[in-house]
Amino acid sequence: MNTKLPAPIPRLTMITLGVSHMRASIAFYEALGFKRRLAASGEAVAFFETGGTALGLFPWDQLAQDVTLPQDPRPRGFRGMTLAWNCSTAEEVDAVLDFAISKGASLLKPAHKTDYGGYSGYFADPDNHPWEVVVAPGIEVGDDQRVHLPD
């Protein structure tokens, strides 16, 4: 019998980052203002509200083991993905970058006008996960702090 199952509804619910030092990474993301949830998990795993998709932190070696990939060598270069902090104005982009740097982030690329009419810069968290801080034409950040994309 060939019964077709309905297609699942696609959704991205959690981004989990492998980190080297749980305590330091938890402190960094709390310092950025992300609200920690399920704190009873201690330093085994950490979850943060982000205004949309949740952010998880998990020890790098354990995450590699869980997905059955080698944990070494750890990439020092670009990993093929970025996280984004969308903003409403260029001034907000500058403020977020300055704030992140003041909390221990590394500046990867200063804010600048983009070729598509936006304004963006990049910082890296303590494990070198890159974050773009950006305002982009047509992408609105609503009062609900969520990104709203046009059709």
> What is the DSSP code string of 57-115?
EEEHHHHHHHTT----SPP-S--S--EEEE-SSHHHHHHHHHHHHHTTPEEEEEEEE-T
**What is the average per-residue pLDDT within 37-62?**
93
* pLDDT over 70, % of the chain: 99
For the cut 80, the answer to whether the pLDDT of residue 63 exceeds it is yes
For the cut 80, the answer to whether the pLDDT of residue 112 exceeds it is yes
Please name which of 148, 139, 103, 140 lies closest in space to residue 123, comparing C-alpha atoms. 103
In residues, how long is the chain?
A: 151
**What is the average per-residue pLDDT within 39-60?**
93
Q: What domains appear along the chain, each with residue ranges and CATH number?
A: 11-72 (3.10.180.10), 79-151 (3.10.180.10)
For the cut 80, the answer to whether the pLDDT of residue 100 exceeds it is yes
pLDDT, position 114:
97
Which phi and psi angles does 139 have, rounded to 5°? -110, 115
**What is the average per-residue pLDDT within 95-109?**
97
Please name which of 89, 83, 90 lies closest in space to residue 29, comparing C-alpha atoms. 83
